[in-house]
Amino acid sequence: MDRESAKKKAEALVNMMTIEERASQLRYDSPAIERLSIPAYNWWNEALHGVARAGQATVFPQAIAMAATFDEDTVKNAGEIVSTEARAKYNALSEEGDRDIYKGLTMWSPNINIFRDPRWGRGHETLGEDPYLTSRLGAAYVKGLQGEGATLRTAACAKHFAVHSGPEALRHEFDAVVSKKDMHETYLPAFETLVKEAKVEAVMGAYNRTNGEPCCAHSVLMEDILRGEWGFEGHYVSDCWAVRDFHEHHMVTATVEESAALALKKGCDVNCGNTYIHMMKAYEDGLVSEEDITKACVRLYTTRFMLGLFDSSEYDSIPYEKIECNEHREFATEVARKAMVLLKNDEFLPINKGELHTIGVIGPDADSRVALIGNYHGTSSRYKTILEGIQDEAGTGVRVLYSQGSHLYKDRVEPLAMKGDRLAEAKVVAEHSEVVILVLGLDETLEGEEGDTGNSYASGDKTDLSFPESQMELARTVIATGKPVVLAVMTGSAMDLSFARDASNVKAIIQVWYPGAEGGRAFADILFGRRSPSGKLPITLYESLSELPDFTDYSMKGRTYRYMENKAQYPFGFGLTYGKVSIKSAEFDIAALKAAAGKDTAGFEDSSADMTVTIKNESARPIEEVIQVYIKDNGSALAVKNHSLCAFKRVALSAGEEKQVTLPVSGRAFMEYDEEGRRVLDSSDFTLFAGVSQPDELSVKLSGVKPAVVDVKL
């Protein structure tokens, strides 16, 4: 149902409600209105990388891992599967009268905040540090979740609006102060793309304030930009209990009624929390009008009509058996294969198991189900850990020895006598193995959301880039044996890998992420060469935190690959394969761009021109690669310090194959943001780089692939 028709139906139904009934519908747990045959509806559902917190579901790799695929089609297909399972659950459970939390069709995903600082515990929920990558993959996921039929398959939600990325411990009281340039250049582009292009149905406000105003009642963000400049027509939801923070922590209001009124009048339509329970008292006190309540209620019912909740739809017949079916599990495993990033390979991988007798698998995440799933996850009916994946692939011909080696972190309660025993066992396992797979990392108990983790000392954030000391002691013990080591890193954020990069017997490093329920199978496919790795880093791995501003400083100076001043440990966009490619040539349709440059600003922003890249697989095995195009503005003082990703495309190449690949480059990529946050065409001198990594010296050295360079003069 189109929005205009849905809105008319919503207005007609809302007009039949009393003011008390309308106010009751602005809660996330909206009660039934039996006299109008309106069932209860719970707005709170999660779909970050699968239907979450609602029982059995396909568990995809965590969002940061999906970002590492650099593949819009893959991410969109994942969204389609997730929304299909959400519909299957809704169809079956609503028939049983179960309309509780996590059972609805309004999915509070994706998280498109920018992962600006590696300390942020929720960074693995995001799509990385780059606004363009986040925009493209976020839009793809929304299109997958919502579908393209006459009815929304589910309603997606872009969160957390805006300028939100830690610290977790301060989020209920923190004011993220940011310049207009940084706001529009980094923090808002993904939200704009999801609103204007992907037509995301909902936007969720953040807990914190931004430049003095709480994000769930923000005149600039919500009124001027979201509904004003961008023309957003969907509904706005508060983060959970964020409106309560107005009077308890931000101190911008004095009473709960004032908080409810402020949020509603600024355009927050539905409250996750209990503050809107007091909406009728706010109405009786003259703080809100009947028109304010009605406007929000109509928006919410417009979404419910667009979901087909009061009519039949093409999704009503999706059966429960679709949940975690073989097809969905297999695709989730394929996503994990595409997401894993090979950071180092001293001509050691893939392993030929026919030449081995014994493999040692060591580490606290090696046989951990928790390390597979990240946070905001569903429940799989089957899991495959790294250890199990290696055991299955090794078969009966290769002995697999195992030692946990250490607990995940030193604060885990343990008998003191066990510490040495595990280290001794790990050493013995390594010494009796021909190759060691060392599996280190974190999980959702160490990096995650404030209040949801066992990491009470930092509220889910990291205090540094080091692995817990218990794991570092284990790593030193294993490396000291001199046996060849493959390091598998199960984290959702940047860690200090210098100990493994610099150790001569650490032959390879694979960033595994939190790879989903069948992550162990995907890892084994990479390890033993059934598949070539092809993931790319959606974040920068820094040498140290000393080069970054304070965690609470929201200025982008020195942060992420676009603004950093030092060399990365491993750079954004980097990832090796088992093959070798060359970029033979690149051509850019300058004529199309010059023609667009003659238009008005809006016309140039909406234009695009094609980059045609010729890539060749120089190896004797099939691989997948990601062509990446970066732009450098040579003539504007407003330009970012380094360069910016402006196009990317995953490409499959058979042995020896050469392909021409066309990538559209938006006119917006040639524009800069001035100090007022306005997009301007401020230069006529640009350079485009087409390669398989960034064009900086370190990236080219590590990848071994020189980019093709095209100078563009407008």
Kindly list the catalytic residues. Answer: 239
- Can you tell me whether residue 336 is helix, strand or coil? helix
How buried is 540 (Cβ within 10 angstroms: 0-12 exposed, 13-18 middle, 19+ buried)? Answer: buried
Which residues partner with 236 through β-bridges?
203
- CA-only gyration radius of the chain, Å: 26
Q: Two tokens at 224?
A: 């001027």
Give the span between the Cα atoms of 222 and 607, in whole angstroms: 27
CA distances from 118 to 129, 138, 196, 492 (A): 9, 20, 29, 9
Q: What is the DSSP letter of 84?
A: H
In this structure, are residues 119 and 170 in contact, taking their beta carbons and an 8 Å threshold?
no
In this structure, are residues 566 and 132 in contact, taking their beta carbons and an 8 Å threshold?
no
Give the span between the Cα atoms of 143 and 74, in whole angstroms: 12
Pairing status of strand 341-345 against strand 399-403: unpaired
Residue that the structure tokens 């008998």 belong to = 415
Edge-first strand order for the sheet with 157-161 is 157-161, 202-205, 235-237
φ, ψ (nearest 5 deg) of residue 5: -65, -40
What would the 3-class secondary structure string for 383-429 be? Answer: CCCHHHHHHHHHCCCCEEEEECCCCCCCCCCCCHHHHHHHHHHHHHH
Q: Two tokens at 63?
A: 């969002």
Q: What is the DSSP letter of 349?
A: P
